[in-house]
Amino acid sequence: MKKLACILGMLLAFGLGAIGVQADELKSLRGTEAVSGDVAPEHYRWERDSRPLPRQFVQQPPLIPHSTKGYSVTTEYNKCLDCHSWDRTAETGATKISITHFKTRNGTELTNISPRRYFCQQCHVPQTDAKPLVGSSFKPANGLVK
């Protein structure tokens, strides 16, 4: 087992050394510095708060129609639940969390959000005015076209 770990370590070290790219040399497709983290850069404008955005394909997680800048989601606290939890939506007017978020992988219903659905921005994303990196000829699913 130690021999395998040693071999893997050597391969990993050789592979990274062979690439020869330093983190500060990485550039984004837009030609700017490499993005650190998953937050939109400050020079992009968040879209204004709006009604729920239309979905483009079946089973698409809803897009977030407002800025989430400064939202805290940790294992102890989830800012999204201040508005979207079932007991707060009547007061806030926000969309309720889907019942699917209260089920485990095996379909067992829970009394609170499933841990695998707790970190909202794994699937749901807010919108910015960033220009597309590449062109797209994507068309919405036929069943969703009005």
Chain segment 46-74, per-residue pLDDT in tens: 666 778 778 888 888 988 888 888 888 89
Distances (CA, A) of 13 to 24, 51, 104, 117: 19, 50, 39, 36
Rg (CA), the chain: 21
Q: At 67, which amino acid appears?
A: S
DSSP codes of every residue in 18-71: HH---GGG-B-TTSSBPPPSSSPPTTSPBPPP-SPPPPSSTTPPPPB-S--TT-
Confidence of residue 18 (pLDDT cuts 50, 70, 90): very low
- CA-based max dimension of the chain: 61
Q: Which CATH class is domain 62-127?
A: mainly alpha
pLDDT, residue 6, reads 52
Q: Against a cut of 0.85, is the pTM above it?
A: no
Mean pLDDT of the region 101-111: 93
